Structure 1
Amino acid sequence: MDILIIIVGLFMIGIGFLVKSSPSLIAGYNTMPEDKKKNVDIVGLSTYMRNGLIIIGLSIVVGYYLFKWIGLTVIAESIIGIVILPGVAIVVISSQRFDKNKDKTKRAKLTYSFLGLVAVCVIGLFIYGYSPSKVDISSDRIKFSGIYGFEMNVSDIDHVELSEDLPEIKMRTNGFSSGAVRKGFFKLDKFGKSRLLIHSNRLPYLIITKNNSEKIIVNFKSETETEKLFGYITALIDNK
């Protein structure tokens, strides 16, 4: 079960129930003067937003597994952005019909500011996910920065190799995946749960096996960069 998909789906559903139980949290409504709040159908608005956000949350989870099941993995792995951006836009814009005030200028500005914030967050996540991981190597430690980055001791490495093949990726358990980019934890055929920092489809793949049998698979957009990292790690292992 993909943890990220479940978390995001449940988060949207939770927000839906929250705005129904506490309508004062709805952007724009909580800053309205009391005389204008009287012209807002807050029961209808909070119910509509609850239902819309619940549908968005369920669509993320169901859509992910549906597209994954029929083999459209690229769409499945991008389902969060595909559903949230248009989904939230539709809910927020269409919810304005519950506001009977004649002057909606301020409300409209808040609405579009909220949509802009959501868009920035989603786009920012994808930009961060696609950003190349940087490697910092010292005599006894290797550090990968960026999304799902980590550190490891050189003494923890049992074996390192370059491979032209990658076992089939069965499932993403906790990570970022879009197109060829896969970062985080994935379940692989033969390897089981493994940590990936894959930036492209470019061969080869650098496979690091730790003393506890955990597999770490890394590659970059440049074949030379992957091979260079292999050389650095091999030298460190030979000298440990």
Structure 2
Amino acid sequence: MLIVAIILSLIFGSLGFIVTINNAKYLLSGYNTMSEADRAKMDIAGYLRFFKRFHIFLSVTLLAGVLLLYLFNHNWASSYMVLYPLLAYAYLLAKGNTFYRGTSGQKSGTYIGIAILLVVIIAVGSGMFTSLKNSEIVVTESQLEIRGAYGIKIPKADLTNVSVVKQLPAISIKTNGFAAGDYAKGSFRTTEGRKVKLFVNKEAPPFLLLNTREDEIYYSSDEVSSNDLYKKIKKWQKE
């Protein structure tokens, strides 16, 4: 996470220096699609001064915020790293309109862009709120279900082995899942090339390992002991 935050911070900081008055008509989104008449109505020099200050501030506060929050809660740090830049860019779009002295139609397009961005922020925030929680294991007479984001159902007859392991396999890539803060959920690939499914709070070892005919599934939660779940599932298998 910290490496990603540093990379994002460097990218945002660099943007403030890359876009200049000489190349804005090629690089600056929105401005590069304006007609020459509309560009004449834009205080591009003033906007670029604001654009530079904005990105330098975003770069510094993004990295500082992630580092500070990481000391207290990894999940807060992950949420901040994702949502803060989106909110910041909504402000950039709104503030950018004040540098344009043209028609209201051109400004309306910006407001639509802001509205779309806010919808994205709400959707992403809601998704993170759902995913940054422990998954729940529920056992019924015929199946074991892992509920929550990327949840799965395992028929009793398909469960071939249950064990408890001290650590997770080394993961190389996420193929279809979520990984942020302390949580990893969904499908991943190990450095050895194996496909695995994770429903884990990485700060809550040991991990319950469920093997089926097709899947290798790891589970952990800070709300329930993996050892207790192991005993419960083994008893359930015998019933």
TM-score by length of 2: 0.57
- Give the Cα–Cα distance (whole angstroms) in 1 for the partners of residues 217 and 101 of structure 2: 54
The DSSP-based 3-state class of the residue aligned with 2:131 is: helix
How far apart are residue 238 of structure 1 and its match?
Answer: 2.4
How far apart are residue 204 of structure 1 and its match?
Answer: 0.7
How far apart are residue 155 of structure 1 and its match?
Answer: 0.8
How far apart are residue 99 of structure 1 and its match?
Answer: 6.1
How far apart are residue 84 of structure 1 and its match?
Answer: 4.2
AA aligned opposite 2:120: V
The more displaced of 145-154 and 134-143 is: 134-143
AA aligned opposite 1:44: M
Higher relative contact order (CA 8 A, sep 6+): 1
The DSSP-based 3-state class of the residue aligned with 1:162 is: strand
Aligned to 1:201: 203
- Matches for 1:106-125 after TM superposition, within 5 Å: 113-125=115-127
- Give the Cα–Cα distance (whole angstroms) in 2 for the partners of residues 42 and 180 of structure 1: 41
Q: What does the per-residue CA deviation read over 1:144-185, in whole Å, with 9 as the maximum and x for residues that have no partner?
A: 221101111011011110111221111111110002200000
AA aligned opposite 1:215: E
Contact (CA 8 Å) 2:134, 2:200: kept in 1 or not? Answer: no
Note the residue ranges of structure 2 that are not aligned, 5 or more in a row.
1-30, 40-74
AA aligned opposite 1:204: P
How far apart are residue 217 of structure 1 and its match?
Answer: 0.3
Percent identity between matched residues is 16
Aligned to 2:235: 235
Q: How many equivalent residue pairs?
A: 171
The more displaced of 126-135 and 151-160 is: 126-135
- Give the Cα–Cα distance (whole angstroms) in 2 for the partners of residues 130 and 194 of structure 1: 20
How far apart are residue 123 of structure 1 and its match?
Answer: 1.3
- Give the Cα–Cα distance (whole angstroms) in 1 for the partners of residues 208 and 87 of structure 2: 36
Are 2:16 and 1:44 aligned?
A: no
The DSSP-based 3-state class of the residue aligned with 2:225 is: helix
Aligned to 2:217: 216
Aligned to 1:130: 132
TM-score by length of 1: 0.57
The DSSP-based 3-state class of the residue aligned with 1:122 is: helix
